[in-house]
Structure 1
């Protein structure tokens, strides 16, 4: 039986263990059922932990393809970007850089790990994204839960629900100060998110044409805020392209975790002719744990 002592702990989207978003990683979860995985994730206490088992029969090569499931302390989530990056870095430390395929609940997610100046850097390729309108009543309820006024929104970046493996409500702040001041009604926002099947709310502020600062409340996972959110970054890339905020072929830089004291950097790459979104970041083992 796996205990939390057997769980690897890595941070994603930072080379500093004190930065980015920590994730638990179980490289062999073959002996765990759903209840056990949830219990391990809850005890680890990170926003998500990843659990690997063998891929579906005939899918990929052993050691390169894995079935991956993601659990927050409260529930299973369909896809998690930061735990994907953390897991890929953990695998690459053991087998070397290369290509992996993670078979998730939302579909296969290719991941490539490269060594850049001696630092392992993982790039995931999302499932095909989509963007939809956000109902006005739902936006008003989200603003009320966040204690934001309508005037706090940036009219150039309208609210939308974006998906690239998980659903996120994108709300853009008009000022950096508005983004920095995050105090919200946990229960009220959680209720709205459960009704809309949202994983996080992606709060964003645009610094320049290709640089954004983002924050992600995550009450449905039992966490006030996620320090670095790869799935939301992929969804945000789809959102930015859909609304014509950036060219069809672009590289965006997302800064997250700064206001929490866990800074991380997520690189979002959009390509012409491929609707999928790529999210890249470094990772690091959290020492003296596991």
Structure 2
């Protein structure tokens, strides 16, 4: 493909089995020859939180992948990875793919359920978790309109990474999580200054079930409906904090407050620090 050609743009909803659920992603399976400016323009035209652009690698199942939000390129995006892998599997069949991203190599396994639904499992890059200063937490809370008393003291604020950086803030109640209204420009500036891709806002329903929301103003989107990269980072955070013990499987519910419910499965293995995130994806008509 040359830069003047019109690439075929696919639309998928990830972490759902319904086109109106989960998180929409654009997918371009052949981005050969597209410039950065063209990819950004395509992503902006779609208006989804991310679009994945693939070019084939030298071996079977290998692809180079770049991710663009409507405003900027991001190093890694989980829901667009799931969408892209399912789009590939829909053409070549279930199997293993290896995506080379700006964050590193991400293996993705796609399997088909008995009911015909394709589900992808990505394995994150090596995760890490870092402390965050009290001043940074206070500034983030002020931009969100939250108070310190709104936080769950058992899940302290941290910055978690599994391909992209996310500030984890745990709400003490489901009601606090449901009421999201924030300073868009102020939070975007705060996040850019700290190289954050989203805020991972969470509420713990039970030992292994969580509800999550992800403001994404740096991408030009008020909220990301289902966020695989943040889910992987959150899995690493929970293990780092001793909040769960591997092996463990976590269920994350996201998008309910937006009317686009999605489900993310997060697996932690005792023998491997990398985090696995699974979900279905379906084409958007």
Structure 1 residue 246: deviation in Å? 0.5
How many Å separate the matches in 1 of 2:273 and 2:200? 20
Runs of at least 5 residues in structure 1 that lack an aligned partner in the other structure: none
Given the superposition, is the C-alpha separation of residues 2 and 235 from structure 1 closer, same or farther in structure 2, using an over 3 Å criterion?
farther
Structure 1 residue 248: deviation in Å? 1.8
SS at match of 2:239: helix
Structure 1 residue 116: deviation in Å? 1.3
Partner of 1:83: 80
Partner of 1:7: 9
**1:116 partnered with 2:109:** no
Which of the numbers 17, 20, 38 marks the counterpart of 1:18?
A: 20
Structure 1 residue 273: deviation in Å? 1.6
SS at match of 2:141: helix
TM-score (ref. length: structure 2): 0.97
Partner of 1:192: 190
Runs of at least 5 residues in structure 2 that lack an aligned partner in the other structure: none
SS at match of 1:145: helix
How many Å separate the matches in 2 of 1:98 and 1:81? 18
Partner of 1:130: 128
Structure 1 residue 54: deviation in Å? 2.6
Deviant stretches of 4+, over 4 Å: none
How many Å separate the matches in 2 of 1:232 and 1:84? 13
* Equivalent pairs, count: 281
How many Å separate the matches in 2 of 1:44 and 1:2? 17
TM-score (ref. length: structure 1): 0.96
How many Å separate the matches in 2 of 1:129 and 1:196? 18
Alignment of 1:83-232 (within 5 A): 83-117=80-114, 118-232=116-230
1:49-93 CA-to-partner distances (Å, cap 9, x unmatched) read 0000132x6xxx14x000000000000000000000000000000
Partner of 2:41: 39
How many Å separate the matches in 2 of 1:19 and 1:139? 32
1:132-156 CA-to-partner distances (Å, cap 9, x unmatched) read 0011111000000000010000000
SS at match of 1:18: coil
How many Å separate the matches in 2 of 1:30 and 1:131? 35
SS at match of 2:196: coil
SS at match of 1:182: coil
Structure 1 residue 176: deviation in Å? 0.1
Partner of 2:29: 27
